Structure 1
């Protein structure tokens, strides 16, 4: 019995010792919420004294709420109905209905007549965002949100729904301007994106995955960023000088607002950098300074007025500088000056290194293109550059694509093309090479007209021949249509089915 009591006593003492050790080591402590008093400022000798300047980037909690309250009413949900991928002129099973015997058409829900006025191919609905920029219904969004859309529906933050029309698009910046028939709408105010600093808080507002009126926040991670995504559709004229942020942006956010802590627009959310197609850390927005200029041009002229310097440029780096014998590691190298251009008139020469425009440092291609992209033909800019190690300046009067300083107006479509009810663009070199095509024109958009009424042609179709003759360009295609009477044969392919040549007949 005495031994048993000694064992019990030893166990109790051991337990208390263990608990005491755990407390001493900080183990097994309950979670507690305690109020901690801050030490006097005078004792914090390792920290610099606070500045007397106003904090332009306040504590985010209240700022996020303010930004969301101001921006949410002006951000809309855009539903764009487009041709479903893979349908082209084929049915849902990838079968060309025009090649099916009549007896089998009903099995696929295809009425007799197939490609000539048959049932329309199914559409898919894409989701994007837009920003109301004027009370009378003008909305800024991305070109890729509305590109190829057959119908556009805009849903406001208060759930009112409107049909929208496209006023103009600019593939070189991926910005588009659309309009709804409404008045007294809430708008967002433009902020100066030039004043935005790396590290500042920003808020993204949009409709990711159709989750309407979603707000996320992050900081500005970088400015003047180029990721070579707009160049795929905008070509060599593309301007990429994105604001990079870590605010969460996903499919459906495209065209939505990136606002500062005050709720003013600093950019249009456009792209994400992701191996999976969803947010993986960084998103990219077109700066408001570019957006404002582009939408003003589209509203006033229907087309963007680009002020061009007229020089081929390359971004300088250490290796390239050593190759060219240049004693600097950054800047924009002028590899070629176009004859009769603004650059030639200003006295720029091959081998010059451009370092600034109008006092703004431009050490990267994206920064230079952004500054020039804010100007119209006829505008005068001051170019800072280096030649043979010496700093110089020049004054350049920018020109348009025609080589003069006039305003470029959209060319009216020939009546014959207008009646077709479609938009045709040049076949880009990448697609031509991939599909092993010498030439052709791409059907970019289809409206009401002969093609929609008489054929099953859908956006994306590449017309390679008209009446058996090779199509070389859009202008050549127009001449062929103008010179044709009666029944016209259109021959071509869909990129998703390059081995199958399709033929359609239309009657003008």
Structure 2
């Protein structure tokens, strides 16, 4: 899968490095057509119920019910029964919200200013909306717990004057609980350079003041620009770039004057143990809306994603976690959390329907919006890159030691059939050469993962570390062979 911000290869057309040579060009378009975005519906404001009737005489209203039970509770429940309401919901986080029309205030049952039939119409409208929400799915329906009791008289609404905190389900493992804990450690980053500026997201990595984010978030300020880090309480601090890894799209910045006692690192999860269907929470500043929290699931794992831009900078590759949590420009660099509040990825790119149907990293001038296809760098990879940057300031990449042929249209990734302008297709004495790979070989699997293109090959190589051994399946003259390659090392980004 390629992305909108494409990078032109500075070398000969069609010749591309595999696993960390020079800057790479746009990846082949292997994505399917994206479905049209459905239009949003808006509820009608037409009252539900019969025509307006004159109010009855004072005293004709029925007395308020003995209690206002949550939606689904029985009117005869005891106080102990109601105290334990509601039961766990089907939502991944068990989230529940109070309802009187989703926060709309309810009217008094004894107020003579509101005729009985008109209030009944409002009640019917609220009930209808709640039923529609329930039909959408158990997760959304779980948010619509009503405060109106089943024992109330028909056509009347009673809303409790106090909110039952337990009914809101703001436990530490709920969305609200996780967001409350993570927001103070999630920051908005503004990068200002002489030619461009942008806004993205990051999160506290350690107590020394290091912030983890995307490379493309801080790139505008990389050459003597200004970085500002803003916390959820509104406080702002100047920061400096510690290190950038263009190929991984990971960067580390550090607060110039870290505040004492304020920095709480977000806990890191294990992205290798993530399963498709796991719940996700994304936090960021989409379109500048700081502190935005959205939810979804892990839609896929090991999704090869290549991204770049038109400046000629090195493209980035990732074996991404795909999520349907709503993420947009400005979410870039922010945390993707699991249901335990642990970071499992760094939000980095989205698939969009604009700009020819490609993906784009956040923070670019292209203002594509979410269509439910977001991609995050797995945190296990990002952590290793971040630690390397903090230690040395320079990224380290695993390499195969070959030039790949992006003009190849068959299955797999082909090594260039011949040398290109003095650059060997297979580096002499390099990892591939030592393993017996030759110019023109087509790699179809790497460490058991099917390879369908050059970008997929690089994404898979860069998910490993230098020195690791990987099994490579390749074809030569129509015959299939297998060899073991010990991956080499390249320090620094290509210029």
Indicate the TM-score class for this superposition, using the shorter chain for normalisation: 0.5 to 0.7
Counterpart for residue 384 of structure 1? 472
**CA–CA distance in structure 1, aligned partners of residues 185 and 457 of structure 2:** 31
Report deviation, 1:228.
Answer: 4.3
Q: Is the 8 A contact 1:332 1:355 kept in 2?
A: yes
- Of residues 331, 343, 359, the one that matches 2:432 is 343
Q: Is the 8 A contact 1:154 1:163 kept in 2?
A: yes
- Of residues 386, 395, 407, the one that matches 2:484 is 395
Q: 1:230 to 1:162 in 2, by over 3 A?
A: same
**CA–CA distance in structure 2, aligned partners of residues 210 and 223 of structure 1:** 28
Q: 1:235 to 1:397 in 2, by over 3 A?
A: farther
The alignment status of 1:267 with 2:342, answered yes or no, reads: no
- Of residues 264, 279, 297, the one that matches 2:369 is 279
Report deviation, 1:167.
Answer: 0.5
Counterpart for residue 226 of structure 2? 151
**CA–CA distance in structure 2, aligned partners of residues 301 and 73 of structure 1:** 28
The alignment status of 1:249 with 2:324, answered yes or no, reads: no
**CA–CA distance in structure 2, aligned partners of residues 343 and 147 of structure 1:** 33
Counterpart for residue 293 of structure 1? 384
Q: Is the 8 A contact 2:308 2:315 kept in 1?
A: no
Report deviation, 1:397.
Answer: 2.5
Report deviation, 1:84.
Answer: 5.5
Report deviation, 1:223.
Answer: 3.6
Counterpart for residue 400 of structure 2? 309
**CA–CA distance in structure 1, aligned partners of residues 406 and 278 of structure 2:** 27
Q: 1:256 to 1:381 in 2, by over 3 A?
A: same
Report deviation, 1:255.
Answer: 1.2
**CA–CA distance in structure 2, aligned partners of residues 311 and 156 of structure 1:** 44
**CA–CA distance in structure 1, aligned partners of residues 383 and 472 of structure 2:** 25
Give the number of equivalent residue pairs: 309
Matched ranges for 1:79-94 at <5 A: 79-83=190-194
Scaled by the length of structure 2, the TM-score of the pair is: 0.54
**CA–CA distance in structure 1, aligned partners of residues 480 and 180 of structure 2:** 48
- Of residues 141, 156, 165, the one that matches 2:240 is 165
Matched ranges for 1:28-177 at <5 A: 35=72, 58-59=92-93, 61=95, 63-83=174-194, 126-149=198-221, 150-177=225-252
Q: Is the 8 A contact 1:172 1:234 kept in 2?
A: no
Q: Is the 8 A contact 2:205 2:265 kept in 1?
A: yes
Q: Which structure: larger Rg?
A: 1
Secondary structure of 2:213 counterpart:
strand
Report deviation, 1:215.
Answer: 0.6
Report deviation, 1:213.
Answer: 1.5
Secondary structure of 2:333 counterpart:
coil
Secondary structure of 2:234 counterpart:
coil
**CA–CA distance in structure 2, aligned partners of residues 373 and 234 of structure 1:** 20
Counterpart for residue 197 of structure 1? 275
**CA-to-aligned-CA distance 1:254-278 (integer Å, 9 cap, x gap):** 1111111211112111233332714
Larger helix proportion of the pair: 1
Report deviation, 1:72.
Answer: 1.9
Scaled by the length of structure 1, the TM-score of the pair is: 0.53
Q: 1:409 to 1:291 in 2, by over 3 A?
A: closer
**CA–CA distance in structure 1, aligned partners of residues 243 and 489 of structure 2:** 18
Report deviation, 1:169.
Answer: 1.0
**CA–CA distance in structure 1, aligned partners of residues 426 and 444 of structure 2:** 19
Q: Is the 8 A contact 1:219 1:246 kept in 2?
A: yes
Q: 1:279 to 1:390 in 2, by over 3 A?
A: same
**CA–CA distance in structure 2, aligned partners of residues 213 and 297 of structure 1:** 29
Counterpart for residue 292 of structure 2? 214
Matched ranges for 1:2-13 at <5 A: none
**CA-to-aligned-CA distance 1:135-163 (integer Å, 9 cap, x gap):** 11111111222113211111223333221
Which fold has the larger relative contact order, with Cα–Cα distance below 8 Å and residues 6 or more apart in sequence?
2
Q: Is the 8 A contact 2:321 2:377 kept in 1?
A: yes
